[in-house]
Structure 1
């Protein structure tokens, strides 16, 4: 049976081909809460994973979204980018992980493993509907990076779903529309959902769908609209809900999202927002909401203009304008797109904004299986593929395969050593905009490949490599390199390494997925009971004091900044964790039982600690277990350690500061701490 999967930032949808039409499979409708029971919402599977508050077991979909205190969403965004180093030293020391991590309780999991768990749950949902989803066409944003495409396919494959093809989301929506309302011409698809915006131009003639241009923004969607609505509500309240319980905070977040949805319905001009925590209700008017989000809408029109300009077209050249994704259905967005183009958009009843992508993917799968004759789908690359090279203080970009090349696409280029005696040739492969420098923020490094030179002592011209770069139909890159003079193949592999060190991202993720799925039935370990949270965690901190009978050893200073923010990234913006610091300090205390242990953190982190952990922090400071400094930089930590003549424990390699602090190189003065799975390891 043939399936299509729309793996979304906020919601996912699964559809199947029935032989003449498409059908959406309701994966999680039984768990749909009453307040979310709106037309079409029973067809959605929220792309959310979380731990249940009491049982501490893993849950997905509507239960994770609405019934837990710490839902983790926007995993799809994490697949597209690399974590950002906290400071310049992180990247230099090689401590930046190859991909984002999602924290479930006190345990981190790589984003690919969490995405695989979501795919696994979708497959289980289809099975509950007496369907076996072993194969599927999966959609990705039109402007998805090579990393996002590989990781999406890897996640589905780990979940037991063979990916027959990856297809761009706007193309899938156009296929769905053209199937329901046969007609040819030039379509513009404005795809704006929970996490990304893509604007794509397609031509549909003689059963062929051909992408001719695409532009987008990878981190702009419904999540940003929620943030603006929160600011608006807080401004009207004249306060912030700082003393809400965890349960109230969860309800506050979802209440904001429901308010946004209500304000997006035709005929709704105002919504009564009833905050929790004893705050008075306020009325949110649609014009206030639209004024708050207007800057976001203006940003979204930029890729619309760029897309038309890229191919020299105007709105008069379009035969249909399709708007898909939840954010595209906000009345202000639809009005502004119509104003910018000077033409009406297709009615949402004719192209269902939330399910069109999955339906188009199912149709594509049927076309691949030969069930729909006389249909051909052509996808184009959304970025320039190139090589990065040194160019006078910045990185140059040598284009190999230009943007908008129809897949499959190929580019070739020779390479040879720069000087005689070189033992290797380095290829730094990147995706981005060939008109910009390769170290521009819009450029994504794919991999750094090294080709061993067969005859290092020979002239460079005797060591020429012919390198072939090949995108398959899915947009997955394969690299083939052979020595020109001998014909020996040096490299022939699919590019699956998106970390700066070339580490394959699939390594060990299958075991990580197994460990994650065990949490469905097995409670996750915790450092504290939920109620009252303070008692057990505080006890754990107090246990770190020395027994008066013990002979005290040298003081030991722990760099708390890195520990409290371990796993926190721009894509996973969780507050600093006192529980995480407590678990690390317990391990330090066990390892160095005779030492007086003190942690150093900055006041900037103190201000970010969650309300229910503030008492724990205050008691730890009062008892001398935690020392606060204005800014807990590595220098501040070393200054404290120097005053106490102490041993230093840190997750960073502080030996890079050996010039101002030469004593750090003395034996026994520095201990490196790392988190492996859920264990603290000393190196």
Structure 2
């Protein structure tokens, strides 16, 4: 069986396979002629549509069809539970799994059972894990998750005979990633990475659309279908303006509106300027200048914009490498990684962390601080241990929190996210020194973090758990989602029953911790009646609107108080 690679993109997805001599991009959809001639003949739009009869469609059929659609599902991995597609409530996991399931058999005569899947280098741990889960729900065993810039570097440099530093500028539909890799005797090693999570073609289209509407004689009042048509025309005009100075954009009423490259560049000027920051940060992290980069690789549809290519080339004082299609290079690199893992290619690769991992401590001034265990840009797999004390004498327990982000910023900064937390009992009769404990993090290449807490005095293991499921409700629900996906792909019709949310909202770490405590520490150990009562309170909290969130949180906290001995 040929090794496969999947670029599960925000706006477009690509499937490639290693055929024994090269990474071959497979045909997985048939775009309209006007899009095929723009280089979109080998990509599948990451779009799912569900019409009023519950019929499901994918790719170009969904993007150009009349049914309500969902795009950019990958952007929802870090935050959302469920989404509405034409009045049908679908969990994010189910929507993403359906796209993976379509990719699995989209190429004629091909069934993808195992694959390397790529992810943005700046993805959080939760988004990485959900990517792997969703592929699995679709019947695809993920051999490894590989950062998209690393895959791109492999596609461009797999035949390189000299050691070199490669800077990959990956600007696709949803994210901007900049990664510096070192190739040493056929081994690809990530050295530094920095990105902007919400910067890509989607954002450029929105800025361009707003600029066009501002120049129309009167503000339009278009229907939902007409707005969708307008967005498609804006996207196509953006692409055309990479090769010509002006084009005519077809408006929903049939009229044409002339748009120039100058208008587009003015609309995206802020987005263009911000691409400097991750490049400069990577160079600063490695204490090198532009001359320390031997090769510049630019991938992703947005990297085709001439102004972007010129800006990056000027910063690094070199022209981008040629030889691979920026639209398909990431999938080709994933297929190469898959071939390496299958033993069909004598190369190797290593990935690194984009965000630091640590725990939250209280300093002498009673302020919370990010205590770093695994730093940013650390090669995976990684393992680190540090020692800690209870904050005050006589404590009965300590709260151990896993935080991911930037240790140089305040704990409550938006860049810092609490992934999971536990309340660990300690002996209140001991002195602070005697109550000391160690925390060990082990982070593997699949994005799963294991945490172990050990009593330093006795050597007793106080906690051993993982953050693999992050805030996932329970694994039995995943089995149900997998069943629904199989049924949908067989019938091409979604189940009429609204899908249950598979995850807890991650916006409020306190809510995440409280629900996780109920479901993992209490519900499994009480009788069925009490378990049902607690589960009902958990569901109420998960579905509570902002105005009722505090009340529902307090209700669950009160219900759990009598079981504090189980925490």
State whether structure 2 residue 16 is matched by structure 1 residue 15: yes
Query: Of residues 314, 327, 334 in structure 2, which corresponds to 1:339?
Result: 314
Task: Please state how far the C-alpha of 1:654 moved relative to its aligned partner.
Answer: 5.1
CA deviation map 1:301-340 (0-9, x unaligned): 2111111122111111211111000000011111111122
Q: Give the corresponding residue for 2:227.
A: 249
Q: How does 1:570-581 map to 2 (within 5 A)?
A: none
Partners of 1:193 and 1:656 lie apart in 2 by 39
Partners of 1:51 and 1:156 lie apart in 2 by 20
Q: Give the corresponding residue for 1:404.
A: 377
Is there any run of 5+ residues in structure 1 with no aligned partner, and where? 83-98, 528-566, 570-649, 658-664, 666-683
Q: Give the corresponding residue for 2:539.
A: none
Contact map agreement 2:436 2:456 (CA 8 A) in 1: yes
Q: How does 1:485-634 map to 2 (within 5 A)?
A: 485-499=457-471, 504=473, 508-515=477-484, 518-519=487-488, 521=491, 522=493
Contact map agreement 1:407 1:475 (CA 8 A) in 2: no
State whether structure 2 residue 183 is matched by structure 1 residue 211: no
Query: Of residues 293, 313, 318 in structure 1, which corresponds to 2:268?
Result: 293
Contact map agreement 2:29 2:44 (CA 8 A) in 1: yes
Contact map agreement 2:117 2:146 (CA 8 A) in 1: yes
Q: Give the corresponding residue for 1:445.
A: 418
Task: Please state how far the C-alpha of 1:104 moved relative to its aligned partner.
Answer: 2.0
Q: Give the corresponding residue for 2:561.
A: none
Alignment CA distance shift 1:505-1:254 (3 Å): farther
Contact map agreement 1:113 1:510 (CA 8 A) in 2: no
Partners of 2:464 and 2:545 lie apart in 1 by 37
Query: Of residues 313, 330, 334 in structure 1, which corresponds to 2:305?
Result: 330
SS at match of 1:474: coil
Select between 335-344 and 386-395 the one with higher mean Cα deviation.
Answer: 386-395
Q: Give the corresponding residue for 2:68.
A: 70
SS at match of 2:158: helix
Task: Please state how far the C-alpha of 1:140 moved relative to its aligned partner.
Answer: 0.9
Q: How does 1:651-662 map to 2 (within 5 A)?
A: 651=545
Q: Give the corresponding residue for 2:89.
A: 108
Contact map agreement 1:51 1:68 (CA 8 A) in 2: no
Partners of 1:193 and 1:492 lie apart in 2 by 38
Q: How does 1:181-220 map to 2 (within 5 A)?
A: 182-220=161-199
Alignment CA distance shift 1:221-1:652 (3 Å): closer
Select between 507-516 and 311-320 the one with higher mean Cα deviation.
Answer: 507-516
Partners of 1:655 and 1:209 lie apart in 2 by 47
Contact map agreement 1:68 1:250 (CA 8 A) in 2: no
CA deviation map 1:59-110 (0-9, x unaligned): 221122111342211111111x33xxxxxxxxxxxxxxxx442212333333
Q: Which protein shows a greater Rg?
A: 1
Partners of 2:126 and 2:550 lie apart in 1 by 31
TM-score with structure 1 setting the length: 0.69
Task: Please state how far the C-alpha of 1:341 moved relative to its aligned partner.
Answer: 2.2
Q: Give the corresponding residue for 1:118.
A: 99
CA deviation map 1:529-588 (0-9, x unaligned): xxxxxxxxxxxxxxxxxxxxxxxxxxxxxxxxxxxxxx9x9xxxxxxxxxxxxxxxxxxx
Contact map agreement 2:101 2:138 (CA 8 A) in 1: yes
Alignment CA distance shift 1:395-1:252 (3 Å): same
Partners of 1:334 and 1:655 lie apart in 2 by 46
Contact map agreement 1:394 1:437 (CA 8 A) in 2: no
Partners of 1:237 and 1:450 lie apart in 2 by 58
Task: Please state how far the C-alpha of 1:378 moved relative to its aligned partner.
Answer: 1.6
Task: Please state how far the C-alpha of 1:515 moved relative to its aligned partner.
Answer: 3.5
Contact map agreement 2:484 2:495 (CA 8 A) in 1: no
Contact map agreement 1:447 1:497 (CA 8 A) in 2: no
Runs of 4+ deviating beyond 6 Å: none
SS at match of 1:43: coil
Alignment CA distance shift 1:291-1:653 (3 Å): closer
SS at match of 1:413: strand
Q: Which has the higher contact order (CA 8 A, sep 6+)?
A: 2
Contact map agreement 1:15 1:362 (CA 8 A) in 2: yes
SS at match of 2:275: helix
Task: Please state how far the C-alpha of 1:113 moved relative to its aligned partner.
Answer: 2.6
Contact map agreement 1:381 1:404 (CA 8 A) in 2: yes
SS at match of 1:345: coil
Q: Give the corresponding residue for 2:340.
A: 367
Q: Give the corresponding residue for 1:476.
A: 448
State whether structure 2 residue 111 is matched by structure 1 residue 142: no
Task: Please state how far the C-alpha of 1:420 moved relative to its aligned partner.
Answer: 5.1
Q: Give the corresponding residue for 2:143.
A: 164
C-alpha RMSD of matched pairs (Å): 2.7
Is there any run of 5+ residues in structure 2 with no aligned partner, and where? 499-504, 508-543, 556-567
